[in-house]
Structure 1
Amino acid sequence: MAEAAVHTAQPDDIDQIARIQVETWRAAYASLLPDEVLAGLDQAEIAEVWQQTVKQGDATVHVATEGTWTVGFCAAGPAPDTEVADADGTLPDDAGSVGMIATLLVEPRWGRRGHGGRLLASAAAGLRATGKSRGVVWVPENDDVSVAFYERAGWQRDGMVRTLDAGGRPLREVRLTGELDLRLA
């Protein structure tokens, strides 16, 4: 395997981040999202959103590389109250120390090579550096690969479920949570 690394996203990473999002969603979420939603993904529009996030967002975007290839990315930042509250809106006692993994994607052809673990560990270290001790992430309930990935990292479902409108089709997501003191094995 070529040298694998993770770095904080720079403006010249934006096009690759957008490409990875489009290609990964189309491959990994084909059974979860309507064809029209996947076909309508506009890489240029997605790049503009990531440009704003990298330049001005509250999240830090981490980029995984293998050799000269950009293979994945992860956006992590403070968790908004709405993302950590219980169904009745009650905030946990540690709400101020919770970070959020907003997205973590590794292009499928680069999967199972440790890139996801490196991205999560880097994001967790960044969140810990800002005073966060616990993380949350929402993933599609039927995305067994992502659920299993976070469970292997020691995160667990906390019982919260939400339903999003995915192009006219309901998409159920589950919330997982775990400590940010992650170490790569």
Structure 2
Amino acid sequence: MDFVIREAQIIDAKDIATVHIETWQSSYKGVVDQAYLDALELNGRILLWERLLQQNEILHLVAIQSEKIIGFCSAGPARKSSALESLNRDLSRMGEIHAI
């Protein structure tokens, strides 16, 4: 099936939060403590995504299929880290995928 990618909007926060929780619970089963995964709470994630979607320096995209958000990606400036700094590159010109 085809899907569309567009920039995320604040109204997408609940759907992104739902995908975020469901993918963590599926992907990290057996890797992360199950009690932690079971305790992931939708309302808290909605608030997180509402805050994140208001950050102008980060680009948030959503993948939509059959009018439903099925995935997301966030990218922006590279966060400082000793690994990146060791490259001796201009970090202001580097980007990073923050979430996918």
TM-score (norm 2): 0.89
Q: Name which of structure 1's ranges 49-58 and 34-43 shifts more when overlaid on structure 2.
A: 49-58
TM-score (norm 1): 0.50
1:19-168 → structure 2 map (5 Å cutoff): 19-56=18-55, 58-82=57-81, 85-86=82-83, 90-104=86-100
Give the deviation of 1:63 after TM superposition: 0.4
Higher strand share: 1
Where does structure 1 differ by over 3 angstroms across 4 or more consecutive aligned residues? none
Give the deviation of 1:57 after TM superposition: 5.0
Residue identity in the other structure for 2:83:
D
- Counterpart CA distance in 2 for 1:91 and 1:46 is 34
Residue identity in the other structure for 1:6:
I
Residue identity in the other structure for 1:78:
P
SS in 2 for 1:41: coil
Contact kept? 1:81, 1:91, Cα under 8 Å = no
- Counterpart CA distance in 1 for 2:89 and 2:11 is 39
SS in 2 for 1:56: coil
- State the aligned residue count: 100
Report which structure shows greater RCO (CA 8 Å, sep ≥6): 2
Deviations 1:6-58 (A, max 9, x none): 11111111100000011110011112211121011111101111101111353
Gap regions ≥5 residues in structure 2: none
What is the aligned-residue RMSD (CA, Å)?
A: 1.7
Gap regions ≥5 residues in structure 1: 105-185
Give the deviation of 1:72 after TM superposition: 0.2
SS in 1 for 2:83: coil
